Chain A
Amino acid sequence: MRFNSIRFKASILYSVILAAILVLFGSVIYGSVYNILYHDLDEELKIKAEEVASILAAYERVERGRSHPIATMLDLLHSEYAAADRRMIVDDIWKSQLEVLNLKNDYINIMNARGQTLFSSHNYTADIARLFGPATPSDLTALHYRSFSDAALRLRMINLPVSLGQIRLTVQIGTSEDNIHSVLGRLGLFLTLAILVFLAGTSFVGSYFTRESLKPVREVVDMANRITHKDLGARIPEKTVDAEMHELIQSFNVMIKRLETSFGHVSEFNSHVAHELKTPLAVLRGEIELALDSEKTPAEYQKVLSDCLEVIDHMIKVVKDLLLLAKLDYRPDIFQFEDISLTALMDEIAEQSRILAEPKKIVITFDIPTEDIRVEADKVHLRRLFHNIIGNAIKYIAAGESVRVSLHRQGQTCRVVIADTGPGISEEDLRNIFRKFFRVPRADDTQESGTGLGLNIAQSIAKAHNGNINVTSTLGKGTTFTVELPVLT
């Protein structure tokens, strides 16, 4: 499993969330048990202290007049030999009561109203006294509990002020917290282990489920890896998978389909290019072979060479147009758009077109309004657009026929209409007219000099200007090209 994989991240996220929940849950349990244990211990201490107090009171009543009744009681409690006291019977009763209270291991300190120790148990050593600390004013008046610890001992102490008639005393009983800590320690260990085991288990299960739910991703990746340019017909099966995956697979398949179409275009285009360039090469080769086939006069050789030059010029034109087309379609940065006057540009084009139409005796008229129509355009390329269309018209129509170019504005769009009175284009050819290397077949079978890319180039330029070119034609009547461009406001 890689660290930057979704599976790893998901597993980590689940584990962290789960760990947080478990730790919180464990803390709550631990805290509750802690509180319960201390509460119970405090209750127990209170019962003991109250019992001691009541025993003290009873003993006081019974033994009034004896010098140190409470000391005797504590002696009884902590000394095996105290039973041998001369007041054995009475003492035995107290001792048994004290034993019921289980005070043998507790530290008992009884103070007078001034906080001086009156009596303490035998095990209440100087160390314990230091741990308990000197009595504070609140020790003599209020019930409270305190915890003490040093390296060896952890004690819980109750401080209970009592009144025995006129006498005010404070009973302090300290008892070991070891039991509580042993229980808490075991609980902590148990909780920690339980959390760790649970986390390990769930992260394993989580990782398994993540892997399972991401399995379709793996399949998509494998399938995508298998698809090469030779194999673009393949699709990732859209079987029953989760909605998200289904969406992903669909997008993928759509992308492959687009790629397939693009590759198809590229391959078709390459085949066309090969054809367009190999045909003139074959002509060149044929002409040269023919020239070498038999002895010729210098004039004949010159004719061959000039024919070859013509073919080479045509090839150069094809290559140039191809390069231009590639640039127009894939390098939008070659366009340098600026605010230009289309009216002025059309005037320029009119001038140049008349020169072109002149030798073929074609009448070309321009109907350009005086209104200054402005467009955001690259002048050089826009000029080429119109030249290609007008040039085509001049090329395809016979002498004496006419071309009429008009410019008018309609709302936010301006239209340049180039209408000729030529032979027209059949419906079928019209459909192919913007296909690369397509040339409308000519009835007279004469070889046209075009590259079959002119209208393609015009269309690409129009699209780069957010415009469009439409063409309509009637056989025998003529063809009309309409160039639409957005007007600059």
Chain B
Amino acid sequence: MRTILIVEDEARIRRIYRRFLEPRGFRVLEAGNVVDAREQMKLDRIDLVLLDINIGEPNGDTLYEVLSCFHSMIPVIVASVYPVDDQRRLLEAATDYFDKSEGIDVLLHKIDRALYQTQYKPHKQEVKS
């Protein structure tokens, strides 16, 4: 079973994603802030991180730095309400980007694709920190 960590400050959105992902065979972990997310990552093996950038201090991009340095093999999908192009400008080398207003289908598709890609490319390119 694949484990997805949702890092998101909005509890309702975490709940919605969980209720979509669990029936589709994913194990879902939730973190409302960066500190919780770090704890979860220490405790569990994570297959994919769904990361909101704008989650208060420390912000999502801090966690992203940590992820790309220490867990560069874990795919990261950046998810926020900002347009995808803006997200890409902010965090250059994420596996994928998701605009929360795009709809769950798009997110599910992006999660599938990210997991599929990592399967065949076990090592992501090192990202400059």
Give the B-binding residues of A (Cβ under 8 A). 271, 274-275, 278-279, 281-283, 285-287, 289-290, 293-294, 307, 311, 428, 441, 445-447
Known pairs A285-B101, A441-B56; A278 contacts B81 (CB<8 A): yes
27 residue pairs bridging A and B, Cβ less than 8 Å apart: A271-B82, A274-B81, A274-B82, A275-B54, A279-B10, A279-B13, A279-B100, A281-B101, A282-B13, A283-B10, A283-B12, A283-B16, A285-B101, A286-B13, A286-B17, A286-B20, A287-B12, A289-B105, A290-B16, A290-B19, A293-B23, A307-B12, A445-B11, A445-B32, A446-B11, A447-B10, A447-B12
Whether B100 and A282, one on each chain, are in contact in the complex, defined by CB atoms closer than 8 angstroms, is yes
- Separation in Å of the A267 CB from the closest CB of chain B? 12
B81 lies within 8 A of A282 (CB): yes
User: Is B82 touching A286 in the complex (CB atoms < 8 A)?
Assistant: no
B103 on the interface (CB 8 Å rule)? yes
Given contacts A275-B81, A278-B100, contact A290 B20 (CB under 8 A): yes
Contact mask for chain B residues 72-109; partner A; CB cutoff 8 A; 1 contact, 0 none: 00000000011000000000000000001101110000
CB of B81 to closest CB in A, whole Å:
4
Q: Are A286 and B10 in contact (CB under 8 A)?
A: no
The one of B20, B32, B56 in contact with A293, judged by C-beta atoms closer than 8 angstroms, is: B20
* Prevailing SS type, chain B contact patch: helix
Extra 5 A-B pairs, beta carbons < 8 Å, given A282-B100, A286-B16, A294-B23:
A275-B81, A279-B100, A285-B101, A289-B103, A445-B11
Chain B residues, Cβ within 8 Å of A441: 33, 56
Residues of A within 8 A of B32 (CB): 445
Q: Does B11 lie within 8 Å of A447, measured CB to CB?
A: yes
Shortest distance between the CB of A318 and any CB in chain B (Å) = 13
Alpha-carbon separation in the docked complex, A283 to B81 (Å): 11
Total interface residues on B, CB under 8 Å, equals 21
Residue from A271, A275, A283, A294 in contact with B13 in the complex, judged by beta carbons closer than 8 Å: A283
**Residues of A close to B10: CB separation below 8 A:** 279, 283, 447
* A228–B117 alpha-carbon span in the complex (Å): 44
A286–B104 CB distance below 8 A: yes
Q: Check A289 against B100 for contact (C-beta < 8 Å).
A: no
Chain A residues, Cβ within 8 Å of B11: 445-447
The minimal Cβ–Cβ distance linking B101 to chain A, given in whole angstroms, is 5
Which residues of A are found within 8 Å of B105, using beta-carbon distances? 289
How many Å lie between the Cα of A282 and that of B13 in the bound state?
8
Residues on the A chain within 8 Å of B23, using CB: 293-294
For the complex, give the distance between the alpha carbons of A289 and B81 in Å.
17
Point out the residues of chain A lying under 8 angstroms from B33, CB to CB. 441
Contacts of A274 in B (CB 8 A): 81-82
Cα distance, A446 to B11, chains bound together (Å) = 8
Complex interface: chain B residues within 8 A of A311 (CB):
12
Q: Which residue of B lies closest to A274 (CB)?
A: B81
Question: Measured between C-beta atoms, what is the minimum distance from B105 to chain A in Å?
Answer: 8
> How far, in angstroms, from A151 to B81 measured CA to CA in the complex?
102
Q: Which residues of B contact A428 (CB under 8 A)?
A: 57
Q: In the complex, A274 Cα to B103 Cα: how many Å?
A: 17
A359 CA / B58 CA spacing, docked (Å): 35
Shortest Cβ distance from residue B74 to the other chain A in the assembled complex, whole angstroms: 24
A-B complex: 9 closest residue pairs judged by Cβ atoms: A278-B81, A286-B16, A282-B100, A289-B104, A283-B12, A445-B32, A282-B101, A275-B81, A279-B81
CB of A275 within 8 A of CB of B56, answer no
- Whether A287 touches B16, Cβ cut-off 8 Å, given contacts A279-B100, A282-B81, is yes
Which A residues are in CB contact (< 8 Å) with B54? 275
